[in-house]
Amino acid sequence: MPDTRFFTVAYDIPDDGRRVKVANTLKSFGERVQLSVFECWLSPAQLAQLKKLLQKKLELSQDSVRIYPIGGTVEVLGVGRITEDPGYLIL
C-alpha cells in the first residue's frame, strides 16, 4: 500500500476488560510486538478508523493510548523482528 505509514501504538489501561478490547482492536490493524505495544502500517483512512474505534473503547479519564508515527529506520535491540509492510490489510 503506497500511501501507508508505519506507526507504533502503545497503551496503558488499568481495566482488564477495556485492555482486552483495545488489544483485540489493534490486532485487526497490526502486530503485537510487546505486551502493550503494536506496530501497524496504516493509510490515513485506516488511522482515522483505528482512532474512532479506540475512542469508543476507552475511558478517557483513566486510559492512555499513544500513537507514534515512525519515520526512518526501526532498530530492534535484543529479541524481536521488524514488522514488514504486508501490502494489504484484512479487517
70-85: pLDDT as tens digits: 876 666 545 567 777 6
Q: What is the pLDDT of residues 9-52, one digit of tens each?
A: 999 999 999 999 999 999 999 999 999 999 999 999 999 999 99
- The answer to whether residue 88 is domain-embedded is no
Q: Count of domains in the chain?
A: 1
**What is the C-alpha to C-alpha distance for residues 20 and 58, in angstroms, rounded to an integer?**
11
Confidence check: pLDDT of 86 > 90: no
| pTM, 2 dp | 0.78
Task: Examine residue 37 and state whether it is found in any structural domain, yes or no.
Answer: yes
Question: Within a domain: residue 51?
Answer: yes
Collapsed DSSP state (helix, strand, coil) of residue 90: coil
> What pLDDT is recorded for position 33?
93
Q: Is residue 62 part of a domain?
A: yes
What's the one-letter identity of residue 42? L
Domain, as residue range, for 19: 5-70
CA distance 75 to 91: 28
- Helices 16-27 and 44-57, axial angle in degrees (round to 10): 160
Residue 75 belongs to some domain of the structure: no
We report the CATH number of the domain holding residue 60 as 3.30.70.240
